[in-house]
Amino acid sequence: MRLGALFALILILAFPGTAVAAPAPGVSARVAYLVDTTTGTIHYAKRETRRVPVASLTKVMTAYVVRRESSLDDVIRITSADVSYAASRGATTGGLRAGERLTVRALLYALLLNSGADASHALAERYGPGTRKFVAKMNAAARRLDLRNTHYVNPDGLPASGAYSTGRDQVALARVAMRDPVIATIARTKARKFGRHTWHNTNELLGHGVIGLKTGYTSAAGYCLSFVATKFGHTYMGVVLGEATEARRYASARRMIDWAVGRN
């Protein structure tokens, strides 16, 4: 029996009327952080200031910048470069085809639901204009939002030297991003059809109060999840970064949410 559980059992046996708080859940991720944004209470913190790669959680900032640079009805023509960029790197795609025309609204769904690197490339090329200028806008936005330990190198989170963030910064970004009604709506959507495309949300945690936000994975970053949940009048925002498996990232997030709810 673990020491914490044994101590709790001794207290219960010695003082039957005493309520004993449940111990903090074990989370195997490299980084984990959870905040009740309704009260400001930090419920869980594990290496929350460590700089680590965050994989496709990067696309939350991409969406944030696009929302400030574009109109949802802007139409973007997909190029062969957009398609080949994702395909040549083995990245997740939205299945876009060169020559097709899609609105910014549609591309944001491809970006945040399917985690399409083809969509992020198309958006960056349009609203940089060019990827390099777009990434500069992402970093400028990070500075404005006081994300002091965040630096972007590309708009998709594919492995790149010098790209990093922290658990604390990712929760702060989620808090800002979810104030945008378009991003918030997309984040909680399980599937959306646009023309020949049907994009499915990669976040298997959705439902039962979970309303977002973004998954990510690379071999360097591990399995990552930025999550938002509303329970009993409280909003919880958290991240797990660097989990070993897809199943563990969801299990860790659930344990963190359940434990935080139980403490209120």
By annotation, the residues acting in catalysis are 56, 59, 115
| CA 125 – CA 130 distance, rounded (Å) | 4
Hunting for tokens 């949300």 — which residue is that?
201
| CA 57 – CA 140 distance, rounded (Å) | 17
| CA 105 – CA 214 distance, rounded (Å) | 17
**Other Cβ atoms within 10 Å of 142 Cβ, number:** 22
Inter-residue contact 49 to 81 (CB < 8 Å): no
Cβ contacts of residue 30 below 8 Å, gap of 6+? 47, 50, 52, 222, 241, 242, 243
Helix (H) or strand (E) holding 252: helix 246-263
Burial class of residue 229 (count of CB atoms within 10 Å of its CB; 0-12, 13-18, 19+): buried
> Of 190, 119, 192, 195, which is closest to residue 157 (Cα–Cα)?
119
> Of 27, 36, 29, which is closest to residue 50 (Cα–Cα)?
29
